[in-house]
Amino acid sequence: MKAAGAAVSADVWQLFKLNYRNHLKLVVIDGVIGYTGGANLGQEYIDGGRRFPAWRDTNIRLTGRAVAELQKLFALCWFEDKHEDLLEERYLPPAVADGGRSLDGEVLTQLVAHTIEEPWEAGRRAHMIAISQAERSLRIQSPYFVPDKGIYDAMINAALSGVHLQFMMTGCVDKRLPFWAAQTYYEPLLRAGGRIYQYTGGFFHAKTIAVDSEICAVGTMNLDNRSLRLHRELMEWIYDVGVTRQLEAIFDHDLERCREITLDEVRSVGPLKHFRNSCARLFSAEI
């Protein structure tokens, strides 16, 4: 890429940052088209590569004023590394002709991003608020499930209050430790009334949430402690019934390639696997 004239930069190269990771996936084209979601640039994200029969991900394409937020986030990352300012007119979308008033056909969105350098963990807190305020339904997708106490309690509280909570994760293993650790979180959530599914049609990598068929989010943040607290992550929140119901329809379609985890199955796990899973959980940030 450098030979072809592209500017290429590594994000994390300092020794003191090796425990942190830029987990963002975003593309901005001419300041007017943006993409984000779970997919990286790699063959496995197209067809599963050599390890998996298929790859299941969710990404979104943005146009309009929301693209500027993606551009600013990229510009921030670039400036931190290269000290080059990309907030120039040639990179940004054209000014809105009506001075910023709402335009017909626009969908309200909000980019929520966080990094280890800021103290408020905005992505994690946005999930906690959305889950806590759900009244009817929650559909959540994440390949991994090693949540922190705040997210986990919010999910259990929602299920106990009668919210129809469905959580979907991968059933095809790429990393054994988080897959084993996830199983230690199943029983309390199932006992509270939540439902858990493992996607078996390939590796499942989508990171989405839909709340009450009204608001939803698509982005890069997994429900694990590293994504929630240590990585640079983003979620694009969308305040639109039509888009949310479209995302819910995708969730329902994914269910056709899932197997549901039952309470009887969880309780029948043998002592050796139970010990293995508990040991795997020790590697999470929270025991």
State the residue for tokens 């698509």: 218
Which of 114, 127, 205, 231 does the annotation list as catalytic? 205
* Active-site residue flag, 207: yes
State the residue for tokens 């429900």: 223
Report the relative pairing of strands 33-37 and 59-63 from DSSP bridges.
antiparallel
* Active-site residue flag, 274: no
Query: What parts of the chain have a pLDDT lower than 50?
Result: 97-102, 287
Which of 114, 127, 207, 231 does the annotation list as catalytic? 207
* Active-site residue flag, 114: no
Give the model's pLDDT for residue 286: 62
Which of 81, 153, 212, 240 does the annotation list as catalytic? 212
Which of 30, 47, 85, 252 does the annotation list as catalytic? 30
Judge if pTM exceeds 0.85: yes
Q: Three-state DSSP class for 85?
A: coil
Is residue 205 in a domain? Answer: yes
By residue range, what is the domain housing residue 194?
Answer: 15-100+109-281
Q: Which residues pair with 203 in a beta bridge?
A: 55
Give the model's pLDDT for residue 100: 46
Euclidean distance between CA atoms 24 and 220, whole angstroms: 6
The CATH number covering residue 260 comes to 3.30.870.10
Give the model's pLDDT for residue 285: 67
Number of domains observed in the structure of the chain = 1
Is residue 78 in a domain? Answer: yes
* Active-site residue flag, 25: yes
Is residue 1 in a domain? Answer: no
* Active-site residue flag, 30: yes
Euclidean distance between CA atoms 95 and 104, whole angstroms: 16
Furthest CA-CA distance within the chain: 66
Is residue 9 in a domain? Answer: no
Euclidean distance between CA atoms 47 and 226, whole angstroms: 26
Q: Three-state DSSP class for 12?
A: coil
Is residue 6 in a domain? Answer: no
Euclidean distance between CA atoms 133 and 218, whole angstroms: 18
Which of 23, 114, 127, 231 does the annotation list as catalytic? 23
Predicted confidence (pLDDT) per residue in 159-217, tens digit:
999 999 999 999 999 999 999 999 999 999 999 999 999 999 999 999 999 999 999 99
Which of 25, 114, 127, 231 does the annotation list as catalytic? 25
